[in-house]
Amino acid sequence: MIIQIVAFLLVLGSIVYFLRKNPRETLALILTIVFLLPYAYYLAGSQVYGIVAHTNTDCWGNFDQNIPTQFAPLRNEVPLNSTENSENISSEIMTGLSEYWWSNYSNATIDVPEEDLELSAWYLQQNVSAPWVIFVHGIRGCKSSGSMLLPSGMLSDAGFNVIVFDLRDHGESSIEDDRVSAGQKEWRDVVAVFDWLIETQGADQDRIGLYGTSMGSGTAAITFSLDTRFKSVWLDSGYSDMGKIIQEELEFQGLPTWLAGAGIFAGKIETGEDLVAHSPLDAAKNIGDRHMYISHGNQDKRVQVHHGQEMCNEALEYGNPGHVECWFEDSVLSYDVGKGFENDEHATLMLSHTNEYEQRLVDFFNTSLT
């Protein structure tokens, strides 16, 4: 702060000096700078917006290797169960992944009402009277990500009907603008899947749960806040505040955090999207008597644990304490897929605490949907 004040005073002193020496030229220069500032602000924001909001339809190699009948978690496009050089990863989950594979599944194409968009989905209906759970993937992820197929496999083993799908601008779904809005418009995709289950699969709207991880957790939270038909939601490693997560994403990518506002401004100009229009935290404030589960690893660097803690605190304040559960646990994966040991702390509880994760997941949806 002191450095910024000194710099400001130096610039101000220089302007006063030149204004006295060459008043006309200096005044013209000042007016030019003032005129160009908004454009420069937009250009800087446009660069930030392009970095933060870009998608990856290839899904980091998941489409090449994972389908519901045979999948594994990937790191650097390498299946974790194909390397022996890993630590803090349950050996049971790595050798017993096949128990979570879906024995049968169907493909579906789901229209988003009033938008020229189609969503690509995989689903498993085991029992027409059983509850459904919709799974929402993270930024640049897809339905074939291990973070989608593993927890959905846990629930399918417990007799639930499950569906995973690609959000717009991801995977095999329609490409709208190759940009992510962090749930601001993707929540409409989740509602489209919800309505499709009711209309085509005979699902009971009171027995459809929602699961999201990372950006998918934020999207699920926004959906939960805007559509009260959802009775329960599991939020894994999600963000609670859009303004904070944009700043933290810039910091994570080594960019100046003060450009966050410029990025939001550029998003409004380029796509008409307001990245802070809907807050995931509203899910807690609008919870009512519905059910919410928040899980988050303590060491998470991509989405810091304070987001989960804020969501938990708000849900406990506004909701029925008996319907809100929070789980914060140390979770760091160390693995070597041929490039030396690397660490991963984001959305890893399902791999570092697999058995406990499965039990908590099944118990929560059994309680909230049956």
Query: pLDDT tens digit string along 327-370?
Result: 999 999 998 888 888 999 999 999 999 999 999 999 999 999 98
For 127-158, the DSSP string reads: -TTS-EEEEE--TT--TTSHHHHHHHHHHHHT
Sign of the CA dihedral running 23, 28, 30, 31: positive
For the CA atoms of the chain, what is the radius of gyration? 23
> How large a percentage of the chain has pLDDT more than 70?
83
81 and 5 share one domain = no
Span of 32-41, 130-139, 296-305, 308-317 with lowest mean pLDDT:
32-41
Q: Could you tell me the pLDDT band of residue 4, with boundaries at 50, 70 and 90?
A: very low
Three-point CA angle 42, 252, 348, nearest 5°? 135
pLDDT digit string, tens, across residues 238-248: 999 887 888 88
Task: Assign 178 to helix, strand or coil.
Answer: coil
**Based on the domain organization, do 141 and 255 belong to the same domain?**
no
Looking at 250, 277, 304, the residue that finishes a domain is 277
Which range (2-6, 41-45, 306-310, 330-334) has the least confidence?
A: 2-6
Q: What's this model's pTM, rounded to 2 decimal places?
A: 0.87
Q: Are residues 267 and 334 in the same domain?
A: no
Do both 162 and 297 map to the same domain?
A: yes
- Is 340 found in the same domain as 198? yes
Question: What is the band of 162 on the pLDDT scale with cuts at 50, 70, 90?
Answer: very high
pLDDT at 104 over 80: yes
Structurally, how many domains does the chain consist of? 2
Question: In 3-state terms, what secondary structure has residue 117?
Answer: strand
7 pLDDT more than 50: no
Q: What are the phi and psi torsion angles at 325 (to 5°)? A: -130, 140
Which is more confidently placed, 100 or 275?
100
pLDDT for 127 beyond 90: yes
Domain of residue 338 covers: 57-241+279-369
* Together in a domain, 262 and 301: no
Q: Are residues 166 and 37 in the same domain?
A: no
Cα distances from 233 to residues 213, 221, 294, 301, 315, in angstroms, run: 11, 8, 9, 23, 12
Residues 162 and 267 in one domain: no
Same domain (yes/no): 231, 322: yes
